[in-house]
């Protein structure tokens, strides 16, 4: 080892789902939206003044913050925006999880949580989901340095009722509690309505799933103004200009296109409900999904085999080679046509 | 103080130069390029397939990395890209500066360095520039946890010969040395040519100044493949998808437009040389600039007065209310027309 290597921060990086560089792939592996972004975003792109790129973007992202705040009935100073919800969450870990006590999150959950904790050397504990893959609220009642969980949870797709979410928050008013709602638009009640009741609550959402803009990188958080101020202070200690000028413009336009947004979400929900029937008929079981994906296991054929067989047929789903979930597949909801191709392939595979 | 506030990371954030929201302003305060981005970037914007935004962007930024590597004659695995050079530098601090010993950077320098050090709780020392505002290489020969300095330095605009840069690197082969070259395209020799000689050297550059793309957020670093690998591991522990799809596309196009790039740089250099004459005639002195800005003090009128008077006339320059430099103004090089307006205003102000 060379001397300068001694001081390198050693990390086990998060491994994102594969982004295949070939065409003709049915991509159901990273929970992207199968429908294109809102028409108004296209208009914003056409109208965008490229000359402006010579200037720094607005460091406060005011226009985007304002449009999100307005849409959700919050104040501008209750909204933080970042480069996808990953950026927002990474900033949250750095800003709020500075206790000697462990941060708590579920054992089966978004796998980036432990990566951020390791990156920033934050102690953590991971209470186990029960056998139905449900979060057990009581597990989060003990002393801790902060709490974070997704709702619906990923990769299980299971939703927890807002009453239970509130139970966890109520028992944790001395630390910051983060509810990560990347998939909430596909069903269920957001904890956003609790933000004015609990000043230690942050609710994180994203444009990557329900708003079809994974490629643009927009995430945001709701919280009381002191939490948002603390987040902004850390952001301004990291990079003043995280969100570029086109992002701010297209983001605002996407929020304005409410009818399109609701229509897409509705289509995906319908396809998901049909997918539940089809998968069940093929011998799959799964926790009931309220997200844009289904976390399924087959009664006979191992998940890994199905994953590999699908890949051979140019259909990508997500397989996690991890304890307790290594016989499951996370299948994103695509268009009806993509799903038909999936069912046909699965039929071949499970009946082989 | 509420209980949950105890664990908030307290920081003193970096304060970026003002981005006035009114029009008709002559903006010479954040070293932006007065000329628009490359025509090929406009073409890339027109050709950009908005449908793709529903998908995550390439997490490895392969196309952009490859185009930068090719342009500068490096291997792809010797290039890292980020959301402006601030993102690249923030990642560098987090990745490489993990020693108990202090990191060294000049007392008068890019003011973000101390902010990142504070954010990540990295000890640091700031050797003083000499009376001519020059970096004294010998100050960097002592034991340390890493070295970083801009070349040309900011906000002084002073360039250090590559021989002296190399002297600093030669004396610091046990730590990572970062040369921050945001302004190198406006003159002087880049330390890039030393990357194959010193495996502990990182050279950081940006599209924000010479390539007129501050609004798009593109920065990059050159270094040996092990340094770049370590940076990528930390990046993938922070946010897999930092650079959005349009950024990657427009960035590649900008690099391809070499003639335009060189032409813009040449124009700015000519305007800068003329500005030196004009400012001198008006009673200003300054370190000789090799950047796209001039760091000037007036023999009679206080910098703060000039700053305020210019602002009244809708001309923005940068004033730092800091020890040793509180009688200086950092003036970005604009178009010839903008500079004529500046000279006229300065004439009024200094002769008032």
> A239: which chain B residues are within 8 Å (Cβ-Cβ)?
83-84, 86-87, 90
B230 with A37: Cβ contact below 8 A: no
User: How is residue B225 written in tokens?
Assistant: 């493949």
Q: Is A323 on the interface with B (CB under 8 A)?
A: no
- pLDDT per residue as tens digits for the range B180-232: 999 999 999 999 999 999 999 999 999 999 999 999 999 999 999 999 999 99
- pLDDT per residue as tens digits for the range A65-120: 999 999 999 999 999 999 999 999 999 999 999 999 999 999 999 999 999 999 99
CA distance B172 to chain A (A): 9
DSSP letters, A217-271, are --EEEE--HHHHHHHHHHHTTT-S--S-HHHHHHHHHHHH-HHHHHHHHHHHHHH
B54 with A212: Cβ contact below 8 A: yes
Q: What's residue A213's pLDDT?
A: 98
Q: Among all residues of chain A, which has the CA nearest to that of B103?
A: A7
A83 with B242: Cβ contact below 8 A: yes
CA distance A323 to B218: 39
| Cβ–Cβ under 8 Å, residues B268 and B333 | yes
Instruction: Please state whether the peptide bond connecting residue B152 to the residue before it is cis, i.e. omega within 30 degrees of 0.
Output: yes
Q: Residue A142 — φ and ψ, nearest 5°?
A: -85, 170
Nearest Cβ partner of A37 from B53, B84, B250?
Answer: B53
Q: Is A4 on the interface with B (CB under 8 A)?
A: yes
In chain A, CATH 3.90.1150.10 covers 3-37+259-350
- pLDDT per residue as tens digits for the range B139-194: 999 999 999 999 999 999 999 999 999 999 999 999 999 999 999 999 999 999 99
Q: Which residue has the tokens 């080679």?
A: A321
Q: Is B50 on the interface with A (CB under 8 A)?
A: yes
Q: What's residue A147's pLDDT?
A: 98
A54 with B213: Cβ contact below 8 A: yes
Q: What is the CATH number of domain B42-48+55-256?
A: 3.40.640.10
Number of other CB atoms surrounding residue A115 within 10 Å = 21
Q: Where residue B342 falls among pLDDT bands split at 50, 70, 90?
A: very high
CA distance A206 to A204: 7
- How many interface pairs between A and B have CB atoms less than 8 angstroms apart? 268
ipTM summary value: 0.96
Q: Is A71 on the interface with B (CB under 8 A)?
A: no
> B58: which chain A residues are within 8 Å (Cβ-Cβ)?
19, 21
Nearest Cβ partner of A8 from B4, B5, B98?
Answer: B98
Nearest Cβ partner of B7 from A12, A145, A214?
Answer: A145
Q: Is B318 on the interface with A (CB under 8 A)?
A: no
Number of other CB atoms surrounding residue A281 within 10 Å = 10
B294 pairs with which residues across the strands? B331
Q: What is the CATH number of domain B17-37+259-350?
A: 3.90.1150.10
Tell me the CATH class for A39-257.
alpha beta
Nearest Cβ partner of A13 from B173, B174, B237?
Answer: B237
Residue B336 has pLDDT above 90, yes or no: yes
Q: What's residue A98's pLDDT?
A: 96
Q: Among all residues of chain B, which has the CA nearest to that of A21?
A: B58
Q: Is B181 on the interface with A (CB under 8 A)?
A: no
Q: Among all residues of chain B, which has the CA nearest to that of A211?
A: B54
CA distance A337 to A345: 13
DSSP alpha helix (H) spans, B48-188: 62-72, 84-96, 112-119, 162-170
CA distance B152 to A171: 54
Q: Where residue B24 falls among pLDDT bands split at 50, 70, 90?
A: confident
Q: What's residue B218's pLDDT?
A: 98
B13 with A215: Cβ contact below 8 A: no
User: How is residue A245 written in tokens?
Assistant: 């000028």
A234 with B11: Cβ contact below 8 A: yes
Residue B308 has pLDDT above 90, yes or no: yes
- pLDDT per residue as tens digits for the range B248-297: 999 999 999 999 999 999 999 999 999 999 999 999 999 999 999 999 99
Q: Give the CATH number of domain A3-37+259-350; options: 3.30.565.10, 3.90.1150.10, 3.30.70.980, 3.30.450.20.
A: 3.90.1150.10
In chain A, CATH 3.40.640.10 covers 39-257
CA distance B205 to B183: 8
Q: Is B25 on the interface with A (CB under 8 A)?
A: no
Residue to mutate among B25, B40, B54, B110, with most A CBs inside 10 A, is B54
Q: What's residue A281's pLDDT?
A: 98
Residue B92 has pLDDT above 90, yes or no: yes
A230 with B8: Cβ contact below 8 A: yes
Between residues 255 and 294 of chain B, which touch chain A (CB distance below 8 Å)? none
B216 with A9: Cβ contact below 8 A: no
- What is the overall mean pLDDT for chain A? 97
CA distance B100 to chain A (A): 9
- pLDDT per residue as tens digits for the range B98-130: 999 999 999 999 999 999 999 999 999 999 999
Q: Is B199 on the interface with A (CB under 8 A)?
A: yes
Q: Is A1 on the interface with B (CB under 8 A)?
A: no
CA distance B228 to chain A (A): 11
- For the segment A264-286, the average pLDDT, to the nearest whole number, is 98
Q: What's residue A178's pLDDT?
A: 98
Q: What's residue B19's pLDDT?
A: 81
**Residue B150 per-residue DSSP state:** E
Q: What's residue B20's pLDDT?
A: 83
Q: What's residue B16's pLDDT?
A: 83
Name the residue among A240, A176, A223 with its Cα closest to residue A80: A223
| Cβ–Cβ under 8 Å, residues A342 and A26 | yes
């Amino acid at each position: 080892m060379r001397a300068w290597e001694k001081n390198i921060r050693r990390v086990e990086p998060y491994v994102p789902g594969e982004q295949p560089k070939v065409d003709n792939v049915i991509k159901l592996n990273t929970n992207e939206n199968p429908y294109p972004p809102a028409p108004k975003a296209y208009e914003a792109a056409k109208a965008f003044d490229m000359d402006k790129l010579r200037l720094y973007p607005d460091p406060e992202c005011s226009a985007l913050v304002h449009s999100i705040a307005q849409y959700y009935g919050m104040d501008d100073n209750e909204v933080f925006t970042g480069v996808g919800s990953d950026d927002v969450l990474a900033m949250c870990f750095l800003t709020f999880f500075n206790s000697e006590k462990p941060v708590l999150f579920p054992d089966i959950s978004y796998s980036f949580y432990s990566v951020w904790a390791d990156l920033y050397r934050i102690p953590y504990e991971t209470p186990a989901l029960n056998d139905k893959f449900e979060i057990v609220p009581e597990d989060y009642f003990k002393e801790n340095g902060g709490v974070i969980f997704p709702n619906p949870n990923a990769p299980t797709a299971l939703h927890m009722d807002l009453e239970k979410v509130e139970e966890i928050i109520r028992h944790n008013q001395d630390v910051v509690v983060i509810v990560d709602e990347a998939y909430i638009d596909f069903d269920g009640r957001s904890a956003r309505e609790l933000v004015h009741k609990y000043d230690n609550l942050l609710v994180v959402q994203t444009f990557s799933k329900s708003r079809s803009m994974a490629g643009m990188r927009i995430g945001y958080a709701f919280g009381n103004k002191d939490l948002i101020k603390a987040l902004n202070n850390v952001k301004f200690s990291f990079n003043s200009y995280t969100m570029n000028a086109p992002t701010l413009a297209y983001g605002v336009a996407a929020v304005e296109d409410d009818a399109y947004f609701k229509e897409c979400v509705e289509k995906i929900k319908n396809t998901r409900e049909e997918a539940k029937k089809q998968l069940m008929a093929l011998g799959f079981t799964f926790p009931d999904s309220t997200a844009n994906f289904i976390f399924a296991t087959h009664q006979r054929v191992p998940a890994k085999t199905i994953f590999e067989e699908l890949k051979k047929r140019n259909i990508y789903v997500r397989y996690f080679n991890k304890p307790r979930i290594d016989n499951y597949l996370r299948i994103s909801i695509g268009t009806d046509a993509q799903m038909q191709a999936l069912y046909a392939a699965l039929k071949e595979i499970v009946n082989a």
